[in-house]
Chains A and B, each alone.
Chain A
Amino acid sequence: MENPFKLIEPDADCPPHLREQIVSEIDMIRNALKVVELYTGDLFGAFSAMLADSAETPPANP
């Protein structure tokens, strides 16, 4: 006897336009993450370079 749970599964297909929507949203998420990574990475780099600079500079004589 066939499992009735398998028989009640709908046979509709996923709308084709959904693929484009999802792929473009994934691209958008990826790009947003790249921008965040770029900015935070650069900011961190600039901040650490600034700290290194100030540590290397000898204090001015009075």
Chain B
Amino acid sequence: MKHLSDEELVRLYVSTQRNPYFEALYTRYCDKVYRKCLSFTKNSERAEDFTHDIFIRVVTKLSGFREQAKFSTWLYSVTYNYCMDQLRSPRQKEVYSDEPYEGVGMYDDDDAEVAEMEAQRLNKALDHLTSDERGLLMMKYQDDISIRDIADAQQITESAVKMRLMRAKEKLRKRYLEALIFWILVGIKALTSFK
């Protein structure tokens, strides 16, 4: 079964309903999906429950997979949407405005600033973002999902994705710099008290 592509496995599973085809897909992606859930929940038991629900959801939706995107992109979209829905706080359920707001320029595809961030501090800064913002940034920078595919997954326009990404990046940058300045101040204080 190793020689079959993901899309071929999906077609075979949908037409025959035989478990081995699904199990092959599961084997290929279970760790990846579990890790994404773990990134969101930071709790192994909850990540396990999320992974279980996501694969059940995937099986029930497989016949609707139209192969407009790669299977992996589709699966990650289902995963992100599920995690974001589950972890969205009631306060966050307000309607998003995708209008540009003052203080933020146009969407910039130059990600040099993101690339220069230090991993552990980035992880901490991400904790201060909402699940939607975190999900969007992870789709773009961790899984390299295109703006168009993110827009399809979220059922919003490409310009709305760009606007939300820009806002999330801006918030991440602020949180990251705040943490950086805090640790610099702690370092300076420690040095001066040592003298």
Task: List residues of A whose CB falls within 8 A of some B CB.
Answer: 1, 3-15, 18-19, 21-23, 25-27, 29-30
Q: A1-B115, A3-B142, A4-B122 are in contact. List 19 more A-B contacts (CB 8 A).
A: A1-B116, A4-B118, A5-B142, A6-B142, A8-B142, A9-B142, A10-B39, A12-B35, A14-B30, A14-B34, A14-B51, A15-B48, A18-B30, A18-B48, A22-B26, A23-B22, A23-B23, A25-B52, A27-B19
Interface pair B114/A5, CB less than 8 Å apart:
yes
Bound form: Cα–Cα A29–B44 in Å: 26
Q: How far is the CB of A54 from chain B (nearest CB, A)?
A: 38
Does more than half of chain B's interface fall in helix, strand or loop, or is it mixed? helix
Does more than half of chain A's interface fall in helix, strand or loop, or is it mixed? helix
Q: How far is the CB of B20 from chain A (nearest CB, A)?
A: 10
Q: How far is the CB of A8 from chain B (nearest CB, A)?
A: 5
B119 sits at the interface (CB 8 A)? yes
Given the contacts A12-B44, A23-B19, A25-B56, A7 and B119 also touching, CB distance less than 8 Å:
yes
Bound form: Cα–Cα A9–B19 in Å: 29
Bound form: Cα–Cα A8–B118 in Å: 10
26 contacts between A and B (CB under 8 A): A1-B115, A3-B115, A4-B119, A4-B122, A5-B137, A5-B142, A7-B119, A8-B122, A8-B126, A8-B142, A9-B39, A9-B142, A10-B39, A12-B34, A12-B38, A13-B31, A13-B34, A14-B30, A14-B33, A19-B23, A19-B27, A22-B26, A22-B55, A23-B19, A23-B23, A29-B59
